[in-house]
């Protein structure tokens, strides 16, 4: 049975090109084209956008993105074994798919893309978190991308969207939510992948803000949240002692009880405290 794009089913593609999954490349493939089209739709209207896909593998999600109307897809794949399968897809969508055989952690892709740019990826989890952190901390804001639609381990997705007062709340939630809006838009059981991973997965859709939600110096906010959450069970007056000799007074000025713990404090108050710390840490 051929799929809507006239290309062979993904199981046949994998068999034809000998794409046995390699654990060291984090290869857990999505083989259901209805599911990959659904993931592609989570990125919104793709017709006027360039899509950056990291780790296309045999191309299930790539085919979803193209079938859903992406203007252009730039796909970065480290595993050269996948290139013939991806070339077949490029042939079915003339001029719309470019594939680069490279390690996404070592390549600057911005020169190959025109705005608006949406990033969509089902990545190995370690690479995904590393890239997310890089995409959220570029030299200048706003970044090259408009939105990120990314598959993560469900536990990591929960940390990205976590709210104060929850166990999952920490530095990742603060960093993402300061600069972007993040939502979990799908959850997937292990059986959705071949081979099945051990844990559930979730797709997070992240839309950048034009500017951070509250003003604060990025470096000071990073130091502050690192100190607060590295000792998350301690009271803030003690975990933040190293940042200023006046920390108790500054906490109070920011509306934070000095006896509170990091996970009780929302983004707005962390940013207020970061601004109050700015004169103390300047120079």
Binding residues for S-adenosyl-L-methionine: 28, 30, 55, 77, 103, 122
Q: Which is nearer to ligand SAM, 77 or 158 (CB)?
A: 77
* Range in contact with ligand SAM (rule: CB under 6 A) among 55-63, 91-99, 184-192, 260-268: 55-63
User: What DSSP character marks residue 23?
Assistant: G
* From 57, 162, 204, 228, residue interacting with ligand SAM (rule: CB under 6 A): 57
- What is the spatial distance between Cα 108 and Cα 129, in angstroms, rounded to a whole number? 17
Q: Is residue 63 near ligand SAM by the rule CB under 6 A? A: no
Q: Is residue 64 near ligand SAM by the rule CB under 6 A? A: no
* From 60, 67, 90, 118, residue interacting with ligand SAM (rule: CB under 6 A): 60
Contact yes or no for 76/104 (Cβ under 8 A):
yes
Q: Is residue 105 near ligand SAM by the rule CB under 6 A? A: yes
Q: Which is nearer to ligand SAM, 36 or 239 (CB)?
A: 36
First to last CA, the chain: 67
Query: Which residues is 72 bridged to in the sheet?
Result: 50
* Range in contact with ligand SAM (rule: CB under 6 A) among 71-79, 110-118, 165-173, 209-217: 71-79
* Range in contact with ligand SAM (rule: CB under 6 A) among 76-84, 87-95, 222-230, 257-265: 76-84
Count Cβ atoms below 10 Å from residue 31 Cβ, excluding itself.
16
Query: Which residues is 207 bridged to in the sheet?
Result: 147, 181
Nearest to 87 by CA among 158, 149, 17: 17
* Smallest gap from residue 199 Cβ to ligand SAM (A): 13
* From 7, 13, 27, 66, residue interacting with ligand SAM (rule: CB under 6 A): 27
Tokens of 183: 């939502």
Distance from CA of residue 143 to its chain's centroid? 13
* Smallest gap from residue 124 Cβ to ligand SAM (A): 5
The CB-based long-range contact list for 156-163 (8 Å cut-off, 24+ gap) reads 156/125, 156/128, 156/129, 157/184, 157/187, 157/201, 157/202, 157/203, 157/204, 158/184, 158/202, 160/132, 160/204, 160/206, 161/204
Q: Which is nearer to ligand SAM, 188 or 221 (CB)?
A: 188
Residue 6 φ/ψ region, left for φ over 0, alpha for ψ in the -120 to 50 degree band, beta for the rest: left
- For 83-127, the DSSP string reads HHHHHHHHHHSTTTEEEEES-TTS---GGG--SSEEEEEE--HHH
Q: Within 126-145, which residues bind ligand SAM (CB under 6 A)?
A: 127
Q: Which is nearer to ligand SAM, 98 or 181 (CB)?
A: 98
Enumerate the known binding-site residues: 28, 30, 55, 77, 103, 122
Q: Is residue 28 near ligand SAM by the rule CB under 6 A? A: yes
Burial class (CB in 10 A: 0-12, 13-18, 19+), 111: exposed
Q: Is residue 76 near ligand SAM by the rule CB under 6 A? A: yes
Q: Is residue 55 near ligand SAM by the rule CB under 6 A? A: yes
* Smallest gap from residue 10 Cβ to ligand SAM (A): 8
* From 13, 56, 192, 262, residue interacting with ligand SAM (rule: CB under 6 A): 56
């Amino acid at each position: 049975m051929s799929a809507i794009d006239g290309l062979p089913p993904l199981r046949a593609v994998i068999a034809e090109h000998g794409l046995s999954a390699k654990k060291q490349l984090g290869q857990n493939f999505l083989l259901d084209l209805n599911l990959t089209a659904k993931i592609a739709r989570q990125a919104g209207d793709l017709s006027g956008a360039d899509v950056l896909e990291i780790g296309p593998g045999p191309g299930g999600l790539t085919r979803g993105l193209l079938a859903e109307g992406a203007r252009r897809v730039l796909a970065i794949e480290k595993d050269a074994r996948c290139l013939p399968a991806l070339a077949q897809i490029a042939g079915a969508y003339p001029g719309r798919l470019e594939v680069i055989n490279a390690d996404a952690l070592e390549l600057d892709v911005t020169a190959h893309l025109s705005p608006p740019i949406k990033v969509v990826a089902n990545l190995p989890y370690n690479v995904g978190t590393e890239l997310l952190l890089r995409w959220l901390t570029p030299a200048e804001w706003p970044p090259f991308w408009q939105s990120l639609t990314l598959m993560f381990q469900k536990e990591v997705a929960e940390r990205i969207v976590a709210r104060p007062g929850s166990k999952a709340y920490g530095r990742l939630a603060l960093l993402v939510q300061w600069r972007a809006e993040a939502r979990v838009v799908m959850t997937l059981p292990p059986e959705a992948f071949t081979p099945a991973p051990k844990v559930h997965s979730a797709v997070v859709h992240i839309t950048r803000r034009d500017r951070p939600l509250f003003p604060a110096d990025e470096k000071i906010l990073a130091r502050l949240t690192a100190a607060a959450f590295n000792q998350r069970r301690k009271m803030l007056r003690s975990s933040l002692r190293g940042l200023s000799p006046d920390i108790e007074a500054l906490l109070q000025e920011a509306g934070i009880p000095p006896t509170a713990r990091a996970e009780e404090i929302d983004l707005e108050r962390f940013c207020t405290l970061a601004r109050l710390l700015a004169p103390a840490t300047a120079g």
